[in-house]
A and B are shown apart, each in its own frame.
Chain A
């Protein structure tokens, strides 16, 4: 029961986020707006973590499964051949550069360098 109530809360914030994004004409995904609204509601105490803890926990535990169907859509690009090699190289360079930049900025700012 607490699981369902938790998921219902998440769905309510998703609907709220989508409605606001649509009404204001924000180019953001409604789900991201909903996440920011929920974060604000949790910080302000308007919504208590205990109300949706179970629902959020179980969805996040399943997250890796939830985006499999969308990811399988890569099949439509399976014939792209060499483009994939270039993309893999860019992803590797991007990830390593991002790790180094983020790590050094935080380390210097925290004062542990």
Chain B
């Protein structure tokens, strides 16, 4: 019954959302939980990934328009962007450069195959952007997606306390840092902190994603 994989995926995701509502931990990221559960189901049933990917292709087809939709939060925060253009642009540029440098450098030092190295270099970009980059650079979409989700979960779980420790207190600095390092998952965490931090995180996710998307193809060709 390969046609049922799409509703099964949606149902598992709905269950993961409910679970997160009960246990408010960023570790129970609904996307990560759903990926793990579906991975276990496919492995247990010996279902080839290509068959699952075919059955769920309508979801994947919506990724392109969803990336385009990321322009909306950037437009909504235009007042803040205009007022603090220099600090926000500088922070996003240096932060995204740091994320790319760590991922790319580790790939070279550890002698990783290109698909792993590409996934690490785009770790700070939102999963849909890193999936699109994997397609562009002939990486592996699945690896890139999971690595981005992991970076999001690390930022959302450890980020706030880590920033206390290194004395980053300004809400705009905390917000942009989470958006640039941990895209949508970090942004979700910042929305709980303050309105200003949440809005700045959305800006950081958009700017950081664009910087990674522009820089990686230059690095890899």
Contacts and interface: CB of A to CB of B under 8 A. Distances in A.
B interface, over-half SS: helix
Contact of B87 (A86, A88, A110): A110
Contact of A87 (B91, B120, B176, B221): B120
Contact of A88 (B13, B30, B132, B150): B150
B48 to A, nearest CB: 10
A interface, over-half SS: helix
Interface in A44-79: 49, 52-53, 55-57, 59-60, 62-78
Nearest to B76: A49
Interface residues of B, number: 103
Interface band, chain A? 35 or more
Contacts of A83: 112, 116
Contacts of B28: none
A104 B173 contact: yes
Contacts of B176: 102-103, 106
Given A11-B65, A95-B154, A36 B177 contact: no
Interface of B: 9-10, 13, 30-31, 34-35, 38-39, 42-43, 49, 52-53, 56-57, 59-60, 62-76, 78, 84, 86-88, 90-92, 94-96, 98-99, 102-103, 106, 110, 112, 116, 119-120, 123-124, 126-129, 131-133, 135-136, 140-143, 145-147, 149-151, 154-155, 158-159, 162-163, 166, 168-170, 172-174, 176-178, 180-182, 184, 204, 209-210, 213-214, 217-218, 221
